[in-house]
Chain A
Amino acid sequence: MAELSPCTDMAPVDDILGTYPREEASLIQVLQDVQRVYNYLPCEALTRVSEVLGVPLAKVFSVSTFYKAFSIEPQGRVTVKVCMGTACHIRGAPQLVDELTRTLGIAPGETSEDLEFTLKTVNCVGACAMAPVMIVGDAYHGNAMPAKVSSYLGKKGVTDEN
């Protein structure tokens, strides 16, 4: 959906707003839907949400920056997550991050200029037995190896190097 030109096309926001009651209680659901469509929360969208739901813009911004599920910066088409939980950490997650940073030219929390990848670190994804784990989009890669990082970036499905 990154092809949308978010700063001009607000029609999806109005569609989303049309499906919820115009009240403060709808805020999080509306923001979740907006995040899903644009892959981030464009500032124009937040202003529109504030006006239509009658919630002060400062409140909307506060909520938008509080939850990790929301982002106010454009996100890459694919999110790459490296687990930094205890098990993954001791089994080499930092090396995975280093390799990804080298390959993609971005640090954790950043998005590549072509808006293709966003790199994130997360804490324990519940697959410690296959530590270290990295996730590209929806694809989980267990026992991940720094040398294979480039190949994971293009892969779908689940892989386990063991």
Chain B
Amino acid sequence: MPRLTIDGKVVDVREGAYVLEAARKAGVEIPALCNHEALEPWGGCRLCMVDVTFEHWDGWYKAVAACLYPVAEGLIVETRTERVTNARKVVLDLLLARCPDTPLIQRLAEEHGITQTSFARNPEQTDCILCGLCTRVCDHLGISAISMVDRGIGREVAPPFKEPPPDCIGCLACAEICPTDHIDYTSTHSRREIWGKSFEMLRCKTCGKAHITVAQADFFADRNGVPRSYFETCDDCKRKAHADIFERLGTGP
């Protein structure tokens, strides 16, 4: 287990972890926008910059993205140096220029002493910070219905041809992981709409709750070889059914 020092705190962390995880274990907060524990780190937002060094580096420091920098024995991490703070400020200043009306960005910027961007405000309103969490979670699920489209200032998250995505199953993983709630959807007892596509809902046989889309049930039944009947009841009711069985066993003769 590598032992490292983060802002003077000594912490042991599992082999193969990245600095961000170690910092969380040490109780040191590092802001991070494009990181999610369920996904591979990506290093896209650059908000998690920290300084790292080793005893034998003779006072040299290197600025790295904490979410992508592997831990090592004897690593010394500084998260509050002037250089680190300045790097974060630049990132937040730019993000605030892109998303001036997005509460999450406003809050983070304010925490770093920025109330107004020093760049020109983006004339096109958007809450998307291009963190890539939505497209990566979609890939991770093996669906890949949406992706990053175009480049430069035109870059955006979109389905192929910017039309309702054929591969989308309406799981809402993208909308739920989005840190800024940029992805719109509606979901009722009967239908769900996302990315311009409309889905029929599957209702729980026991409680009637619309728990997943028919397309989701079909997809997972087909891909994971789960019997289609598995999806007829919702997770809550399944849990309840199991609990009932255990209760009966527990109070049995």
Mask, B134-166, CB within 8 Å of A = 1, is 010010000111111111000000011100011
CB contacts (< 8 Å) of B143 on chain A: these are 56
The proximity string for A residues 55-71 relative to B, scoring 1 for CB distances below 8 Å and 0 otherwise, is: 01111111001100000
Contacts of B138 in A (CB 8 A): 58
The answer to the question of A46 belonging to the interface, with a C-beta cut-off of 8 Å to chain B, is yes
Which chain A positions have C-beta within 8 A of B146?
58
Is B150 a contact partner of A46 (Cβ separation < 8 A)?
no
B110 adjacent to chain A (CB < 8 Å): no
Q: Contact at A59–B150, with CB atoms within 8 Å?
A: no
A62 to B135, CA, bound (A): 11
Contact residues in A for B148 (Cβ distance below 8 Å): 62, 66
Q: Cβ of B149: which chain A residues have Cβ within 8 Å of it?
A: 61-62, 65
Whether A65 contacts B150 by the Cβ 8 Å rule is: yes
B7 is an interface residue with CB less than 8 A from chain A: no
User: Chain B's nearest CB lies how many Å from the CB of A50?
Assistant: 8
> Is B167's CB within 8 Å of the partner chain A?
yes
Interface residues contributed by chain B, number (CB under 8 Å): 17
CB of B49 to closest CB in A, whole Å: 25
Q: How far is the CB of A65 from chain B (nearest CB, A)?
A: 5
Q: Please, how many angstroms separate the alpha-carbon atoms of A126 and B149 in the complex?
A: 29
Contacts of A66 in B (CB 8 A): 148, 150-151
- The residue of chain A having its C-beta at the shortest distance from the C-beta of B138 within the complex is A58
Residues of A within 8 A of B159 (CB): 58
A43 in contact (CB, < 8 A): yes
- The answer to whether B151 and A58 have CB atoms under 8 Å apart is no
In the docked arrangement, what's the CA distance between A46 and B165, Å? 14
Give bound CA distance, A137 to B98, whole Å.
Answer: 37
Q: Are A59 and B147 within 8 A (Cβ)?
A: yes
| Minimum CB distance partner of A50 in chain B | B160
Instruction: List residues 32-57 of chain B with CB under 8 A from any CB of chain A.
Output: none
- Point out residues on B near A: beta carbons under 8 Å: 135, 138, 143-151, 159-161, 165-167
Of the A-B pairs whose beta carbons lie under 8 Å apart in the complex, a sample of 30, sorted by A's number, is A43-B161, A46-B160, A56-B143, A56-B144, A56-B145, A56-B147, A56-B167, A57-B166, A57-B167, A58-B135, A58-B138, A58-B144, A58-B145, A58-B147, A58-B159, A58-B165, A58-B167, A59-B144, A59-B147, A60-B160, A61-B149, A61-B160, A61-B161, A62-B148, A62-B149, A65-B149, A65-B150, A66-B148, A66-B150, A72-B161
